[in-house]
Structure 1
């Protein structure tokens, strides 16, 4: 079986809705990342796979391929698994390589909430089952599993602290592509803000007397991220050194009322399939749509926060839906070069009740 490896990983900054990226269409955002990843390739990619959640519809991946001046022979396919779309695109590219469909792919995701033509979100679940908004769904999880406001705020404070530390250390510089006139800093990061005081002052925003606030959940954002995926044989042929090797992946459904639980069975199944335990995993990137998701994940697996989102996450930096899963892998790629893990994984819980998990190993 062919083995898929990650050669490079890039992202734009993450902008706030109607913020610094508001005038960039999704295909423009994606084009910056695609151009950077393919700049030194001397042959076309087999395909470009991009996740997207909120529009504008159509085959955005093909549009982005053309926008980024790829050869006309380079096709494109758009993937929608809502906020797991970027991770699903990467997962799909790896499995395509395993199956022998191609050797070189750009895979990731993009979102422009600022330019989306849709005022309301798509349905996640049929009416007869129930289709809660994500904030209410997070409150459902907090109530059912007794995750207090204090526990959620504790992790949120850690996310802000870690993200700002990473900014100060220059960790994001290798991840980011340049966009003329746009500062190379995620728009949500505010080095001068007292986040601890801010967290204490905020009221619940989805439910009266609830525990989920604007401080312990992510915002609404714009951005793009993608990776260059190759077969290991192709990388050797081109004398290139990969960083991460794809091992396996899982997708699983859960109750749509509790989508934040999705990563738990997804990761459990993935570990069992590969005869691993959570102790074998050195780095974990989980999308911080809500702090309650991470707090529950850490509790269920009995692991410290030290293993999770070591350099910050979406609560502090933002959640550009279709790109967020690709942001997780981009972060793992660059962290792997710093920390030399044996195994690492990316996981995300998704509206409608889904969980995706993807397992990677460091290329020795």
Structure 2
């Protein structure tokens, strides 16, 4: 079996909806990433796979590839698995390599909520089952798994602190390709008094609820992508493999509990590979809501010390289709800063009650 490895990873700055990236269309956000990752390999890129959720429709990946000036042969395909789309794009690219369909892909995701033509979200579930908004569903998760407001706020503060520590150390600078004059995540342009905000915030989705604006992610724009290659090809072209794809899993749960969807996906993935949480050195789970993260850590016995160690979407933002790829980009750089890291895992839960989990081993 051929082995798929990630040899490069980058992202744009993340901007607030109607913020610094407000006038940039999805294909324009993605194009600089494609140019960077394809540099010197333009004729070798066999396809571009991008996740996108609220874009203009059509094939954003194809338009971005053309905008980037890539060869016409790099056709491009756009997929939508809601918030899992960017992670799913990488998963697909890895399986293409593993199965021998190709040897070199760019995969990731892009989202411009600022330019989205849709006034409302798409349906997650048929009415006969129930179709709660994600915030309401975050309350459902908190209720079902007995996650208190205090538990959620505690994690939100931890994530915020970690994000700023990572920024101060220059970690995010390693990840980012500037877009025009913008080279920094918009949420990090000004430090907030997070403890005060957490204390003051009121429930926004349910009376007497636990989910607030302070322990939830915002709505954002951004893009991220990685270069996936067959391992021997990567080495022959002078690349150092960093993350080697091992396996992945997709699970479905009741659409009322999307935040819990990573749990069965991670459990099945670990079981099939004869691993436990103790064997995984670093874990990224998308921080759409604190209730989601606290639930996953509680049910899977994940220590905070190995989870989202540089913070995540609660601080930086959640550009839907890009978030899964942003998590892989974060892992790509974090494993290179550490020693004795063997296994890493990324997971995300998304609208409709879908969980995606992907397992890598460190190749360096």
In structure 1, what is the Cα distance between the partners aligned to 2:191 and 2:50?
Answer: 35
Q: Is the 8 A contact 1:175 1:331 kept in 2?
A: yes
Show the 5 A alignment for 1:75-94. Answer: 75-94=75-94
Residues 135-164 of structure 1 show CA distances to partners (whole Å, capped at 9, x for unaligned) of 000000111111000000000001110000
Name 2:230's counterpart in structure 1.
231
- Which is worse superposed, 227-236 or 39-48? 39-48
In structure 1, what is the Cα distance between the partners aligned to 2:219 and 2:192?
Answer: 19
Is the counterpart of residue 313 in structure 1 residue 320 in structure 2? no
Query: 1:189: Cα distance to partner?
Result: 2.4
In structure 2, what is the Cα distance between the partners aligned to 1:59 and 1:306?
Answer: 40
Name 2:176's counterpart in structure 1.
176
What secondary structure is seen at the aligned counterpart in 1 of 2:291?
Answer: helix
Query: 1:193: Cα distance to partner?
Result: 1.6
Query: 1:178: Cα distance to partner?
Result: 1.5
Residues 269-321 of structure 1 show CA distances to partners (whole Å, capped at 9, x for unaligned) of 00001010110000000000000111011111222211100011000000000
Name 1:353's counterpart in structure 2.
353
- In the superposition, the TM-score normalised over structure 1's length comes to 0.98
Name 2:55's counterpart in structure 1.
55
In structure 2, what is the Cα distance between the partners aligned to 1:132 and 1:146?
Answer: 19
Name 1:111's counterpart in structure 2.
111
Q: Is the 8 A contact 2:65 2:76 kept in 1?
A: yes
Query: 1:43: Cα distance to partner?
Result: 2.6
Is the counterpart of residue 128 in structure 1 residue 124 in structure 2? no
CA RMSD of aligned residues (A): 0.9
Q: Is the 8 A contact 2:136 2:206 kept in 1?
A: yes
What secondary structure is seen at the aligned counterpart in 1 of 2:171?
Answer: coil
Q: Is the 8 A contact 1:142 1:148 kept in 2?
A: yes
Name 1:99's counterpart in structure 2.
99
Is the counterpart of residue 44 in structure 1 residue 41 in structure 2? no
Is the counterpart of residue 327 in structure 1 residue 335 in structure 2? no
Name 1:251's counterpart in structure 2.
250
In structure 2, what is the Cα distance between the partners aligned to 1:37 and 1:190?
Answer: 27
Is the counterpart of residue 194 in structure 1 residue 193 in structure 2? yes
Identify unmatched segments of 5+ residues in structure 2. Answer: none
Query: 1:236: Cα distance to partner?
Result: 2.1
What secondary structure is seen at the aligned counterpart in 2 of 1:347?
Answer: strand
Q: Is the 8 A contact 2:53 2:82 kept in 1?
A: yes
Name 1:3's counterpart in structure 2.
3
Report how many aligned residue pairs link the two structures. Answer: 363
Q: Alpha carbons of 1:190 and 1:200: their partners in 2 closer, same or farther (altered >3 Å)? A: farther
Residues 50-97 of structure 1 show CA distances to partners (whole Å, capped at 9, x for unaligned) of 000012110111011001110111110001101100000000000000
Query: 1:173: Cα distance to partner?
Result: 1.0
- In the superposition, the TM-score normalised over structure 2's length comes to 0.98
Name 1:32's counterpart in structure 2.
32
Name 1:260's counterpart in structure 2.
259
- Which is worse superposed, 62-71 or 186-195? 186-195
Q: Is the 8 A contact 1:4 1:97 kept in 2?
A: yes
Q: Is the 8 A contact 1:44 1:73 kept in 2?
A: no
Query: 1:194: Cα distance to partner?
Result: 1.0
Q: Is the 8 A contact 1:164 1:191 kept in 2?
A: no
Q: Is the 8 A contact 2:42 2:71 kept in 1?
A: no
Q: Is the 8 A contact 1:83 1:322 kept in 2?
A: yes
Query: 1:42: Cα distance to partner?
Result: 5.3
Query: 1:32: Cα distance to partner?
Result: 1.4
Identify unmatched segments of 5+ residues in structure 1. Answer: none
Q: Is the 8 A contact 1:14 1:317 kept in 2?
A: yes
Q: Alpha carbons of 1:205 and 1:74: their partners in 2 closer, same or farther (altered >3 Å)? A: same
